[in-house]
Amino acid sequence: MIRILTAAAAILLVTAAYADDVPLAKITPVFGAAIPNIPGKSLKSVTVEYGPGGRSGSHTHAKSAFIWAYVLEGAFRSKVDDGPERVYREGEFWTENPGAHHVVSANASDTEPAKLLAVFVVDTRDTNLTVPDHQ
């Protein structure tokens, strides 16, 4: 499980590398386990931290992934699929359906850091959690 979470964090860091001239996102695996009463499904979570002005490139996630993102600190700009771009502040959350396109993922502040918890419900065999648009 540790290897899977480490691989997921590395993939998320690659996604963050599309940001020009801003610090990369810091991705930290938090938890990962099979869901015992749902065969073939796992729960995985990471924290995502952006420095001031930080962002990552547009991306999708594993096709099986349902994601709940909860802002722990600061504020995030997010746009998923054709929905509106929104700013989510500490204590707020959003969800992403399987196959969703995360068009905007950025710190809403140029002066303060931002941190969120992303929780994935995903097929256990899906180890590539994030796919950048520009490969």
What is the CATH code for 2-132? Answer: 2.60.120.10
The distance of Cα 119 from the centroid of its chain, to the nearest Å, equals 8
- Mean pLDDT, to the nearest integer, of 40-60? 94
- Do 100 and 43 touch, CB atoms closer than 8 A? no
- What pLDDT, in 10s, does the model give residues 61-84? 889 999 999 999 999 999 999 999
The distance of Cα 135 from the centroid of its chain, to the nearest Å, equals 17
Distance CA 95, CA 8 (A): 19
Distance CA 45, CA 119 (A): 4
What local confidence, expressed as pLDDT, does residue 132 receive? 85
Q: For the chain, give the mean pLDDT.
A: 86
- What pLDDT, in 10s, does the model give residues 3-38? 554 455 544 444 444 445 555 789 899 999 999 999
